[in-house]
Amino acid sequence: MKTIAIVARPRKDEAAELAQQIIEAFPDREFLVQEHLGAQIGRAFVSDEELAARAELVLVLGGDGTLIYAARMQRGREIPILGINLGSLGFMTEVPVADAMGAITQVLQGKARVESRMKLSCRVYREGVLLLDDEVLNDVVINKSALARIANHEVSLDGVYMATYQSDGLIIATPTGSTAYSLSAGGPIVHPAVDCVVVTPICPHALTQRPIVVPGDQLVRVHMTGEVSDVYLTTDGQSGLALKRGDSVEVEKSSHRVLIIRNERLDYFNILRQKLRWGERGNDEAPAPAHSRGSRTRKT
């Protein structure tokens, strides 16, 4: 990996300082940086298109949102991404700043563990005309504005009618995106190694309309029926389109993947416990041992 791209969170001094340290630490590599980062560190920059076309490795300096942006930049290329987190631990940006140099060295020595993540392809049709063709790592979201009425989302799977969700919106998520907006709307956590799609209604009118996990190799189609006003589709929270009555949204597994370099010191469940306190009790008391029901011990 001779050519390395750095994608950094804009206007963050810590990111610029770390980028400069990385460039100086590996003088035998060619580094490509974005315009905003080049301006911060006084270095020549390239366009996002050139960065994605030439890079053999992408270093992300920021959080999960920055990593999603880097994944979208690749436009179908499968370039390994190493996420270095500048804040709290991320679901995908797993490497703390203190371990950045060691992690990069391991990658360049071919010792890193790479995980392949599923992406979704999203297309929007209006009267048979293709309006949007995009790919997402996290989710496709159909949502209404604050004052809009509940919309009808007629959902089918490989042409078989599933249900009409009367709700504020609908989230169609990858396993990676299952811990994002979908989780906040009551969707399940899905391990990223499982190729499937999570369909989660947002504030459904009927409580019987629950999230569902469907096979990743089948086409999910959402047809907008009934009155539609102020309803928008967003892909990975970074681009959007206003929807109208009669529009069809088609979502299916993409032929492209995202390659994420894992932190060897962490596993997926470790991240869940740190980020969500998943699997823990709601207080700081440990359950009493079976032989001592009458007493309680505190965690240390």
Tokens of 6: 């750095």
| CA gap 144, 126 in Å, rounded | 18
144: Cβ contacts below 8 Å, ≥ 6 apart? 150, 151, 168, 169, 230, 231, 232
Task: Name the DSSP letter for residue 226.
Answer: S
Provide the angle, in degrees to the nearest 10, between the axes of the packed helices 100-108 and 13-25. 40
Task: Name the DSSP letter for residue 150.
Answer: P
Task: Name the DSSP letter for residue 7.
Answer: E
292: Cβ contacts below 8 Å, ≥ 6 apart? none
E-state strands within the chain: 3-8, 30-33, 57-62, 81-85, 95-96, 113-126, 129-136, 139-144, 151-157, 160-173, 196-204, 212-215, 220-225, 231-235, 239-243, 248-262
**If DSSP codes are grouped into helix, strand and coil, which group holds residue 56?**
coil
78: Cβ contacts below 8 Å, ≥ 6 apart? 256, 257, 258, 259
Cα–Cα distances in angstroms (integers) from residue 189 to residues 29, 97, 295, in the given order: 39, 27, 34
Which residues are annotated as catalytic? 64
